[in-house]
Every structure is written in C-alpha cells, then in structure tokens.
Structure 1
Amino acid sequence: MNDTLIIRRILPTDNTEVSRIIKSVLVEHDAAREGTAYMDKETDAMYQAYQDNNEAYFVAILDNKIVGGAGIKHLSQSEDNICELQKMYILPEARNRKVGKELILKCLEFAKYCNYEKCYLETFPQMQAAINLYVRNGFTQINQALGNTSHYACNVWMIKNLEQTK
C-alpha cells in the first residue's frame, strides 16, 4: 500500500459504504444497539443528513477505498456555539495510519470556519483507542451529556474549546 490518504466531503454514492463502516465498527466494539448510531435512521443516508449550513460529513479514502468518516453538526438542543463531532468510525485496517487524526483535524477546521467555539462528542469506554486519539487532539472528558443526541447508550462525554481565528 502506498498510504495515499484523501479526505473529502461525502457524496450520495458513498452512503452504502459509510453505513457499512459505521455498523461494522459498532459490531466490533459490542455497541450495535438502541441508543447508538447503529440504530439512527440517518446512518443509511449520511449524505442527506449533512446538507444544512454549518454541517459536513467527511470520508477518508486510503488507497482508493473509503475506510472511515466523521462529521460536524450543531449539537442539538444546545447553545449555538457548540458543535458535535459525529459518527467518527474507521475500519481496523486504516487505524494507526493517521486517518483518525486527519479526520479530526478536517472536522475541527470546518467547525472553526463555522464559528463554533466548542466541539462535543460521545463515545463508549470500550473504544479506548478512539478516546486516546480524542485526548491527543485536545478533548477532555466531562461528567455529563450535553444537548440531545439521542445516543443515550453512550456514557463517555468529551469536549474541546476551539480557538477562534477570525
């Protein structure tokens, strides 16, 4: 493999593959259940779910194959200045190859462009490698959920203050 990594916005033709990735990673981590992205209706229509202003979903393509994705969207039922890093999932063969880091950087760059001041996320304790990646990128754990994501099965909550550069 030559490790050619491309990060781009999702296309309508990516929906099936992105849904497959999200669901397979949740199965891998024993998190394919109610209250998770596994059951979200938008998981099967990710392109359509990220078409409003100030939101975007990015896919990671490694060696001409979609290997993961992540999105930014306003955190439902929260202050206007808080976004959420959503549905960040990466296939096992793409981990430890800087795919996660590049997806986070792209999402946070977009969040700053949209003038968000904080970025929130939810995950599971069994996704420790992802938690470590989030910490390395400036996220800190908090003691309670924010907003209303409908992901009540998630019990690790994290936030990052974004430095605004205007």
Structure 2
Amino acid sequence: MDQLTHTQTTFQKKEFPIILLLDNITGEANLGSLFRLADAFGIQKVIFCGSEPNLNSNRLKRTARNTWKTVNFEFQEDSVETIKKLHQEGYRSLAVEITSESIPLQNLNLNKEEKLILIAGNERHGVSDEVLEICNQQLHIEMFGENSSMNVAQSIGIALYEITKEMNKFHKK
C-alpha cells in the first residue's frame, strides 16, 4: 500500500453551488483551514465580511497550503447587505449556529437546483444577531460532550461534508 499524491487520486473535480460567507472571522489559522475546506469541497466562492483577511500572513498561508491562490474569494464590508443581495439572486442562507430555532444538520432538506450560502461566525461571538435575523435557517451539529461549541473550521468542515454529500446524490441520479 502506497500513500497517493494529489496527482494520483481518482477524485473528480466538481463545483457545488455553495458560497461560504465568513461573518467577521479573524483567526489566521481558521482562515487558512477554511480556504482548504473550500477547495476540498468544491465550493463556488468564499466571501469574507467585516474583517478582511491578511493574505500575507505566514500562518494563513501555511495552513491554507496554497489554496488561497486557487479558491475564488472576495471581501465585502457588510454581511447583512451581502446576504440580502444573494437572497435576491436566489440563494438560500444557512447559518451554522446553535440557536433556539436551529435544526440538526442531518435534518436539513435540500432541493436539487438549490444555491446555498453557508454562514460561519466569529470565533468568540458566533454568527452576529443581525445575520441570524435574516438567515433562512440555522443549523447545528449535534454534540455529545460537555461543551456546546466547536472550532469554526471544524464545524464548517462537517457542514460542508454533509451538504455536499446530499447534493452529490442529486448529480448521481
């Protein structure tokens, strides 16, 4: 058994109609991880809102492993205005946040032609109240320990895995 390199895998490149909107995420290691996740799950674009990423950060670059060069991304000042604009373009917004109205991620129902905005919030404060107010839905990841929160990059990795797994089923039919 040999470990395969990137060029030796049989993974098919695919793009999913998902925009990852980062609501004031500032941690450079998290940002680097989110670039890698965006690349790994073939999402359409990353939109940084509130805090512009420092693309000169060695920590970000080291964690991203060059994916910041290949992932489509942009910066917008205002999360709420950006989401409202994307709603007008037919996107459904999903915030990954534990709220009184959030549903377990595994209970999310998707439609075949759906375009999604997956929203992740600040490392300390989560998704802002203003963003939660306009989101179509909030999702949470069921956890079984003492803590009720998870690292933002880990939670987005889990959410992207589950969502792209469901979307992939539509393409296989």
Give me the TM-score of the superposition, normalised by structure 1.
0.30
Higher relative contact order (CA 8 A, sep 6+): 2
Flag the structure with larger Rg: 2
Give me the TM-score of the superposition, normalised by structure 2.
0.30
- The structure that is strand-richer by fraction is 1
